[in-house]
Structure formats: structure tokens, C-alpha cells
């Protein structure tokens, strides 16, 4: 046990027997203990306080009368303590009173008796939040009949007793100190900010106050002026203001501010023009999109309405062949017709041209030449290839005539005599990597043998007329040409043999 500084408020009616701390090894806690003796009530008050958690235990009251019976003045311990005190005073050659020494020894033995039995209750108690003390009985102690856990000298608080006022304080931990420091720093910062705002407010209001006082003084002084003088003052002020504005304008125009201002104005105008142009382009794109959607809907409605009146299978096949096989006799004249080609191309590119052409699509028999070119993409390709051959009009014309004769032959029109009347045309050479169109060579053999395209179709079993749109490269590839016997009339063509002739590789 160690003594400590006074932790109670002094008062009348009680004597402090002990004010210090005690360590309890079982609970590993250090408690502040105060024991006071109340003379009038003949009781002893025990105060316990845990400074680590800042909690005070319920106070315990002991009977002084019963405690006095526990101390025997004739005991060996009492006599030895009293003799030691007398010897100490005699050694120091001090005077002493025997009754006072006896009372002092009595109080010491009573404190030892209480401290030996004072314990902390740990069962069923959270020591981190609360504290509870008890007086445990020892061997030879008398316990209460109603509560065997308590000794007989523990009593309730007397009604006339005034409890001792203590001023214990909780011990601050490191975390609490840190929180307190942070709180103090925040409060100091808030105080500095408030002081700054107060200073700014005071300075602002002070200047405003001085300005208003000056204004009031001038107004009071001007009330004493005559009307003529007031008019003169206003005119002078107006002239001064105009001169100041003119000087500032002149200075700004002479400096770089004028260039900067003009650049800003030009930039704003350019941005406005760009926004207007973008809005116009967006409106045009939206209009084109709406027109395209309307056109697609009209075409879809037309297809749905004409679904019930479509042609038969044979008519559709003839119409398809008629669309793809244009009159070859007109091809040479189409080569030099650049206006028609450009017109057809423009009609495809522009939506308005497409709107004008799409509703008139139908059978090629009732269409003009540009419309035929629009319907058959193969014809447009042939025209493009022939346009790249400006020095080959005679060969192209000869090839076109042979193709025309073969086309009529395939549909049961011309005879083989017309084909024999045409001179043999050799396949044109490849110039500058441009693919050329060739016709099958006409040959007169014995027994009326002729390389007929119709025979080739019959031998192949495809049932379609020969195509004069074959394109070849300069690679040497063999072309098998079937020979057909056409001398036997009425029996149809007869395949005799096939010969391989060199041809140019197809591109």
C-alpha cells in the first residue's frame, strides 16, 4: 500500500483513516481506496474507485462497535506495535501521550483487518465497465445468518450519515490524449477562422462606414448650394466622366487589347458559322434518311401488293434471260455514249435519280438504253471494259455481230449458215492487262461439222445459251469445244467429238 495526495473534500463529522491505493493481483487492477470513520454514526465508510475506467464501486459501511471487538488490546501484535512506537519517540527524545499512541495503534490494526478482507468481485461482473467490492470472511470470522458470504460487521448506510465527497479523476489513456489533442487543434483552427472572418467583417464595415459618413457630409454640404451651382457641378461631373471614358477607350484600342478583342469576335463568328453549317448538314442528312425510309416503305408495299399477281415460272425465266441478254448490235454505239453512262451512274448515286428510276423497273422490252444498263450489271461492266479499248472498234463490232447471231441461234432464230458467213475472228490479245471478250471460232469442216454453242449446251446438259461474256487472261488453258453434226436434218444435233483448243485463262 502506498499513500497518495488528498482525494477528498474535508468536512466535519468524519476522520480519514486511509487515503491511498491498493493492487489486487487476482484481477490485475489497481484501485484507489478511501476509508473514513464517522464518529456520530459509529460506522466506517469504504470508498473504492477504478481510475482506469473511471468507475466507483458501491460504498461499503462497517460498524465501528463490532470492529472494536475484533481488535484485542492485550494481544501480542498490539503490544509489540505500541512498544515500537514508544521506543521510536524515546530514541528521538520526544514527548508522547500514551492514549494517543494506543489509539493510533488501534486504527492501524483495524485498517489491516479491513484491507485483508477487502476484495474485488470478479464473477458475473464486467470489470472493463463496472466495479464491485466485498468484505470476504476469513477463518474465525462471524458471518451473518441471512447471508453467509458477508461478515457480521457489514451494515447498511445509516440514514443520518452524509457520504464523504471525493474528487477522483479518470486516468487518461494514449488514445484519449490523442483525441483530445485533435479536438483542441480543430477548435483552435475554428477559432482562427472565426477571428479572420471577424477582422474582415470589421475592416469591410469600417471602410463602408467611413464612405457613408463622407457621402452624408457631402450631401449635407450640397444642400446648402444654390441650384445654379448644383447644375454646374453635375455638368462638370458629366464632362469628366465622358473624358475618362474616351481616354480608356483610346488606350484600349492602341494596346494589344484591340487585337485580342478582334480575334475573340472572329472566333465567335467562325464558331457560329460552323454550328449553323453543321445544323444544316444534319437537317439535310435527316431529310435524306426520311426520304430513303419512305422510298423503302413504298417499294415494300408495292412488292406486297403485287405478290398475288406474279408471273409463272416459265415467264420469270424468260424475263430473266431477256434482262441479261441485251442486243449486242447496240454495244458499239454505247461505247461512245458517255452522257448516257454518266447519267445512269448519277441516277444510281443520287437519291432523287433512284426515286425516278425505281418505280419504272420492269420488263426490259419497254425500257430505254440507260434503263437497260441500270437493270443489267453485266452490260455495265462490258461497257466499262469496251470504253477502255478506244482502238478496237472493228474487232468489237465483229465480235458483237457473232454474239448476236449466236444469241438468235440459241433461241431458235438464225441458222448455222449465218455463222459460216461470218469470217473467223481470232481472240483479241490482252493489252495493258485489260480483259477482252472473245467469240467462239467458226469453222467449216467436212460432213457439216460446226462448233455450235448449242451443241456445247446440249453436251453439258445445262440448258442455258452460251455466254459471250467470258473473260480470259494470258495463261495458257485448254478450252474444250464440242463438234456437232448438223447435216442430218430433223434428227437434232449430234455430238461427234470434242477438241481442245488453247484459250486464255479466265480472270
Specify which residues 482 forms β-bridges with.
498
On whether both 140 and 189 belong to a single domain, the answer is no
On whether both 486 and 448 belong to a single domain, the answer is yes
- Written as one string, the DSSP assignment of 245-309 is HHHHHHHHHHSTHHHHHHHHHHHHHHHHHHHHHHHHHHHHHHHHHHHHHHHHHHHHHHHHHTSTT
On whether both 46 and 122 belong to a single domain, the answer is yes
On whether both 101 and 162 belong to a single domain, the answer is yes
Q: Quick check: is 277 in a domain?
A: no
On whether both 156 and 20 belong to a single domain, the answer is yes
SS (H, E, C) 246-258: HHHHHHHHHCCHH
Q: Quick check: is 352 in a domain?
A: no
Cα dihedral 203/208/214/217 (nearest 10)? -130
In degrees and rounded to multiples of 5, residue 197 shows phi and psi of: -65, -40
DSSP alpha helices (H): ranges in 98-226? Answer: 98-117, 174-222
Q: Quick check: is 409 in a domain?
A: no
pTM of the full structure: 0.36
Q: Among the three residues 185, 206, 224, which one is the final residue of a domain in this structure?
A: 224
Asked whether the beta carbons of 24 and 119 are under 8 A apart, the reply is: yes
Q: Quick check: is 128 in a domain?
A: yes
Query: Residue 124's domain spans which residues?
Result: 2-171
Burial profile 89-126: b = 16 or more Cβ within 10 angstroms, e = fewer? eeeeeeeeeeeebeeebbbbbbbebbeebbebeeeeee
Q: Quick check: is 61 in a domain?
A: yes
Q: Quick check: is 453 in a domain?
A: yes
**3-state class of 421 per DSSP?**
helix
DSSP state of 36: E
On whether both 145 and 77 belong to a single domain, the answer is yes
122: CB partners within 8 A, 6+ apart: 26, 27
Give the CA count within 13 Å in the CB-facing half-sphere of 384: 11
Residue 334 pLDDT:
40
Asked whether the beta carbons of 389 and 431 are under 8 A apart, the reply is: yes
Residue 484: count other Cβ atoms within 10 Å of its Cβ. Answer: 23
Query: In total, how many domains does the chain have?
Result: 3
Q: Quick check: is 48 in a domain?
A: yes
Residue 388 pLDDT:
67
On whether both 180 and 152 belong to a single domain, the answer is no
> Cell numbers at residue 433, please?
492487262
Chain-centroid distance of CA 152 in Å reads: 77
On whether both 196 and 144 belong to a single domain, the answer is no
Q: Quick check: is 423 in a domain?
A: yes
Q: Among the three residues 206, 224, 242, which one is the final residue of a domain in this structure?
A: 224
On whether both 156 and 40 belong to a single domain, the answer is yes
Residue 382 pLDDT:
76
- Written as one string, the DSSP assignment of 202-260 is HHHHHHHHHHHHHHHHHHHHHTTS-HHHHHHHHHHHHHHHHHHHHHHHHHHHHSTHHHH
What distance in Å separates the CA atoms of residue 213 and residue 208, rounded to the nearest whole number?
8
On whether both 187 and 165 belong to a single domain, the answer is no
Residue 113 pLDDT:
87
On whether both 117 and 70 belong to a single domain, the answer is yes
**3-state class of 8 per DSSP?**
strand
pLDDT digits (tens), the chain, 507 positions: 444 566 666 667 788 888 888 888 888 888 888 888 888 888 889 998 888 888 888 898 988 888 888 887 788 888 888 888 888 888 888 887 888 888 888 888 888 888 888 888 888 888 888 888 888 877 767 777 677 667 788 888 888 888 888 888 788 778 888 899 999 999 999 999 999 999 988 888 888 888 899 999 988 998 899 999 999 999 999 999 999 999 888 877 777 777 777 788 888 999 999 999 999 999 999 999 999 999 888 888 887 777 655 555 555 555 554 444 444 444 444 444 444 444 444 444 444 444 444 444 444 444 455 555 555 666 767 777 777 665 544 455 545 555 555 555 444 444 455 555 544 444 444 443 333 333 444 444 434 444 444 444 344 444 444 443 343 433 444 444 444 444 444 444 444 444 444 444 443
Give the CA count within 13 Å in the CB-facing half-sphere of 426: 4
On whether both 68 and 135 belong to a single domain, the answer is yes
Amino acid at each position: 500500500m502506498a499513500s497518495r495526495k488528498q482525494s477528498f473534500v474535508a468536512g466535519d463529522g468524519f476522520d480519514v483513516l486511509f487515503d491511498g491505493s491498493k493492487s489486487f493481483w487476482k484481477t490485475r487492477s489497481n484501485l484507489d481506496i478511501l476509508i473514513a470513520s464517522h464518529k456520530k454514526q459509529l460506522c466506517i465508510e469504504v470508498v473504492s474507485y477504478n481510475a482506469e475506467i473511471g468507475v466507483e464501486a458501491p460504498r461499503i459501511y462497517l460498524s465501528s462497535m463490532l470492529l472494536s471487538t475484533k481488535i484485542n488490546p492485550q494481544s501480542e501484535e498490539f503490544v509489540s506495535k505500541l512498544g515500537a512506537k514508544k521506543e521510536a519517540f524515546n530514541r528521538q527524545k520526544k514527548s508522547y501521550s500514551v492514549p494517543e499512541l494506543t489509539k493510533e495503534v488501534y486504527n492501524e490494526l483495524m485498517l489491516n483487518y479491513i484491507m485483508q478482507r477487502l476484495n474485488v468481485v470478479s464473477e458475473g461482473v464486467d470489470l472493463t465497465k463496472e466495479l464491485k467490492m466485498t468484505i470476504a470472511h476469513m477463518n474465525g470470522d462471524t458471518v451473518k445468518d441471512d447471508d453467509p458470504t458477508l461478515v457480521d460487521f457489514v451494515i447498511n448506510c445509516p440514514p443520518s450519515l452524509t457520504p464523504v465527497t471525493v474528487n477522483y479523476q479518470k486516468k487518461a489513456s494514449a488514445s484519449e490524449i490523442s483525441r483530445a489533442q485533435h479536438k483542441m487543434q480543430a477548435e483552435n483552427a475554428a477559432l482562427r477562422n472565426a477571428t479572420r472572418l471577424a477582422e474582415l467583417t470589421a475592416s469591410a464595415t469600417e471602410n463602408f462606414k467611413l464612405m457613408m459618413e463622407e457621402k452624408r457630409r457631402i450631401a449635407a454640404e450640397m444642400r446648402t448650394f444654390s441650384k445654379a451651382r448644383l447644375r454646374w457641378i453635375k455638368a462638370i461631373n458629366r464632362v469628366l466622366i465622358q473624358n475618362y471614358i474616351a481616354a480608356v477607350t483610346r488606350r484600349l484600342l492602341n494596346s494589344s487589347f484591340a487585337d485580342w478583342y478582334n480575334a475573340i469576335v472572329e472566333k465567335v463568328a467562325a464558331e457560329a458559322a460552323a454550328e449553323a453549317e453543321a445544323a444544316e448538314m444534319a437537317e439535310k442528312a435527316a431529310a435524306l434518311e426520311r426520304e430513303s425510309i419512305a422510298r423503302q416503305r413504298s417499294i415494300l408495299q408495292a412488292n406486297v401488293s403485287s405478290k398475288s399477281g406474279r408471273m409463272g415460272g416459265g415467264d420469270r425465266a424468260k424475263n430473266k434471260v431477256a434482262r441479261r441478254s441485251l442486243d449486242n448490235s447496240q454495244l458499239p454505239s454505247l461505247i461512245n455514249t458517255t452522257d448516257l453512262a454518266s447519267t445512269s451512274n448519277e441516277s444510281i448515286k443520287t437519291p432523287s435519280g433512284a426515286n425516278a428510276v425505281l418505280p419504272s423497273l420492269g420488263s426490259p422490252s419497254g425500257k430505254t438504253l440507260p434503263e437497260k444498263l441500270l437493270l443489267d450489271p453485266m452490260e455495265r461492266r462490258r461497257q466499262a471494259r469496251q470504253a477502255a479499248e478506244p482502238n478496237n472498234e472493228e474487232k468489237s463490232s465483229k465480235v458483237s455481230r457473232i454474239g448476236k447471231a449466236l444469241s438468235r441461234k440459241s433461241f431458235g432464230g438464225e441458222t448455222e449458215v449465218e455463222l459460216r458467213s461470218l469470217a473467223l475472228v481470232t481472240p483479241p490479245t490482252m493489252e495493258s492487262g485489260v480483259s477482252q471478250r472473245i467469240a467462239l471460232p467458226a469453222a467449216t469442216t467436212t460432213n457439216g461439222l460446226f462448233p455450235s454453242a448449242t451443241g456445247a449446251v446440249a453436251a453439258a446438259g445445262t440448258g442455258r445459251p452460251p455466254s459471250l461474256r467470258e473473260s480470259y487472261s494470258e495463261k495458257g488453258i485448254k478450252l474444250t469445244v464440242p463438234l456437232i453434226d448438223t447435216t442430218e436434218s430433223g434428227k437434232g444435233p449430234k455430238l461427234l467429238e470434242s477438241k481442245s483448243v488453247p484459250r486464255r485463262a479466265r480472270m
